[in-house]
């Protein structure tokens, strides 16, 4: 009886040791990618430089501002490191991650199932919806008024596909002009080379001028996530945990308020 009892105790000790070893091994793996950044002393972040309220580089001060810049700074502070910003566009942000020139990207990067196959996306930190900026003298009042018109979109974005699908559903035909930056799209609209400038509405709000206005129509509500290289799953989990906490304690809400931004409802498209 004693031998059986000792055998059971020995077996339990082996099982507990295995569980303890596995837990510690997982903990070490989980922290490895985070520790790599801590040891480097710098968090390298890809951000937009031409999106007021999200990621904008002031040419006078050479300083970045916007909610995504604020978020990057908060992550760096949590890690106890400095932050270094690299300007990205919709066309370059993925390549910079793949080439490991940046650790993370926070650049109005919309979460889609197709993109999840290529990159990690954290818990969403902002929800937006596609909108249209038009000239006040355009006579455009509704989405269907864009029939036969030319819409300016950003290279590398999913906006063109989204609009094409919506146009087909509404029985209209639209043309597109793909340009490399939002300022170029804004200038093209004001010069009447395009009839509308389309991207997420919160981004467009930074380009409203005395001669332009937002069309009273949005669609395709979507969410932005912090993006990491596909292999950096542990870093992704760490960042998602931070965002979950900042959502719960309303830290993110305070950042929205600072820039006078209101996230769209994921359930409601106009």
Which CATH number belongs to the domain containing residue 135 in this structure?
A: 3.40.190.10
Which residue ranges of the chain lie beneath pLDDT 50?
Answer: 1-6, 9, 11-30, 268-270
Whether 40 and 119 share a structural domain? yes
Task: Report if residue 18 sits inside a domain.
Answer: no
Residues 69 and 194 in one domain: no
In a domain, 15, yes or no: no
Beta-bridged to residue 199, according to DSSP, are: 131
Contact 221, 265 (CB under 8 A): yes
β-pairing, 119-121 vs 227-229, is antiparallel
Q: Is 201 within 8 Å of 129 (Cβ atoms)?
A: yes
For residues 38 and 31, give the distance between their C-alpha atoms in angstroms, rounded to a whole number: 10
Domain that residue 216 falls in: 128-222
Number of domains composing the chain? 2
- 46 and 70 fall within a common domain: yes
- Clarify whether residues 70 and 132 are in a common domain: no
Task: Say if 192 falls within a structural domain.
Answer: yes
pLDDT of residue 12: 46
Report DSSP state, residue 193.
Answer: S
Q: How many residues does the chain have?
A: 270
What DSSP state is assigned to residue 226? -
Q: pTM, whole model, 2 decimals?
A: 0.77
Residue 143 lies in a domain: yes
CA 151 and chain centroid, separation: 23
For 156-186, how does the pLDDT look when each residue is reduced to its tens digit (9 = 90+)? 788 999 999 999 999 999 999 999 899 999 9
Residue 265 lies in a domain: no
Are 211 and 240 within one domain?
no
CA atoms within 13 A on the CB side of 238: 21
């Amino acid at each position: 009886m004693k031998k059986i009892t000792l055998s059971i105790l020995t077996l339990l000790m082996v099982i507990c040791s295995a569980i303890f070893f596995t837990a510690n091994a997982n903990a070490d793996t989980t922290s490895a990618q985070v520790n790599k950044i801590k040891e480097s002393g710098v968090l390298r972040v890809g951000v937009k430089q031409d999106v007021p309220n999200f990621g904008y580089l002031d040419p006078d001060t050479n300083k970045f501002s916007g909610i995504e810049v604020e978020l990057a700074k908060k992550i760096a502070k949590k890690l106890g490191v400095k932050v270094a910003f690299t300007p990205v566009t919709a066309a370059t942000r993925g390549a910079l991650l793949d080439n490991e020139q940046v650790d993370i990207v926070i650049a109005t990067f919309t979460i889609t199932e197709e993109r999840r196959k290529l990159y990690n996306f954290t818990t969403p930190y902002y929800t937006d919806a596609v909108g249209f900026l038009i000239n006040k003298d355009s006579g455009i009042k509704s989405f269907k008024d864009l029939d036969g018109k030319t819409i300016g979109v950003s290279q590398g974005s999913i906006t063109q596909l989204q609009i094409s699908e919506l146009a087909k559903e509404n029985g209209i035909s639209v043309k597109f002009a793909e340009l490399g930056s939002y300022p170029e799209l804004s200038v093209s609209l004001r010069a009447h080379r395009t009839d509308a400038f389309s991207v997420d509405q919160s981004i467009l709000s930074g380009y409203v001028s005395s001669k332009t206005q937002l069309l009273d129509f949005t669609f395709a509500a979507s969410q932005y996530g912090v993006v990491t290289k596909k292999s950096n799953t542990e870093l992704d989990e760490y960042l998602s945990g931070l965002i979950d906490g900042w959502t719960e304690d309303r830290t993110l809400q305070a950042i929205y308020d600072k820039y006078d931004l209101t996230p769209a409802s994921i359930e409601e498209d106009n």
